[in-house]
Structure 1
Amino acid sequence: MEPDIVSIDGVETATWVLGSEGPSPDVVLCHGTPWSAEVWRQVGTRLAQGRRVHLWDMPGYGRSSMDADVPVDLASQMARLPRLLDHWGLESPDVVAHDIGGAVALGAHLRHGAEYRRLVLWDVVTLDPWGSPFFRLVAENADVFAALPPALHAALVREYVAGAANHALSDAWVERLAAPWVTEPGQAAFYRQIAALTPADTRPVVERLASVRCPAAIGWGQADPWIPVEQAGRLADALPGDVPIATLEGVGHLAPVEATEAVADAVEAWLA
Structure 2
Amino acid sequence: MTAWNLDRQLHTDEGTVRWSTFGTGDPIVLLHGTPFSSLIWKDIAHGLALTRQVYVWDMLGFGQSDKNIGQNVGLAKQADIFGDLLDEWGLGSPSVVAHDVGGAVALRSTLLGRRMFRDLTLVNAVSVDGWSSGGFFSTVKNNAAAFSALPEYPHKALVTSKISDGSHVGLSAGVLDAFVDPWTGTAGQDAFYRQYEQADETDTDEFHELLGDLATPTTILWGRRDRWLDADYALRLRKRLPRSNFHWIDDSGHMVQHDAPARLLAHLLTPPDQAASSPSTVTLQQQ
- The residue type equivalent to 2:246 in the other structure is I
Shift of 1:129: 1.4
Shift of 1:11: 2.7
Q: Is the 8 A contact 1:94 1:271 kept in 2?
A: no
Query: Alignment partner for residue 2 of structure 1, among 5, 14, 33?
Result: 5
Shift of 1:167: 6.3
Residue 262 of structure 1 is matched in structure 2 by 263
RMSD, matched Cα: 1.4
Residue 232 of structure 1 is matched in structure 2 by 234
Residue 23 of structure 2 is matched in structure 1 by 19
CA distance in 1, matches of 2:181, 2:272: 32
Change (3 A) 1:222 1:28: same
Q: In the TM superposition, what are the counterparts of 1:1-272 in structure 2 within 5 Å?
A: 1-3=4-6, 4-9=8-13, 11-20=15-24, 22=25, 25-131=26-132, 132-166=134-168, 168-239=170-241, 241=243, 243-271=244-272
* Ranges of 4+ aligned residues in structure 1 off by more than 3 Å: none
CA distance in 1, matches of 2:211, 2:13: 27
SS at match of 1:187: helix
Q: Is the 8 A contact 1:212 1:240 kept in 2?
A: no
Shift of 1:6: 1.7
CA distance in 2, matches of 1:230, 1:256: 21
Shift of 1:51: 1.5
CA distance in 2, matches of 1:176, 1:270: 32
SS at match of 2:163: helix
Shift of 1:211: 2.0
Structure 2 portions without partners, runs of 5+: 274-287
Q: Is the 8 A contact 1:232 1:245 kept in 2?
A: no
CA distance in 1, matches of 2:183, 2:85: 24
Structure 1 portions without partners, runs of 5+: none
SS at match of 2:219: strand
Change (3 A) 1:159 1:48: same
CA distance in 2, matches of 1:58, 1:202: 17
CA distance in 2, matches of 1:207, 1:124: 17
Shift of 1:9: 4.3
Shift of 1:210: 1.3
CA distance in 2, matches of 1:228, 1:2: 32
What percentage of residue pairs aligned between the two structures are identical? 35
Residue 281 of structure 2 is matched in structure 1 by none
CA distance in 2, matches of 1:91, 1:240: 26
CA distance in 1, matches of 2:247, 2:45: 19
How many equivalent residue pairs? 268
Deviates more, 1:98-107 or 1:181-190: 181-190
Structure 2 length-normalised TM: 0.90
Shift of 1:122: 0.3
Cα deviation per residue 1:13-34 (whole Å; 9 max; x = unaligned)? 01010212x2xx2000000001
- The residue type equivalent to 1:58 in the other structure is M
CA distance in 1, matches of 2:164, 2:182: 15
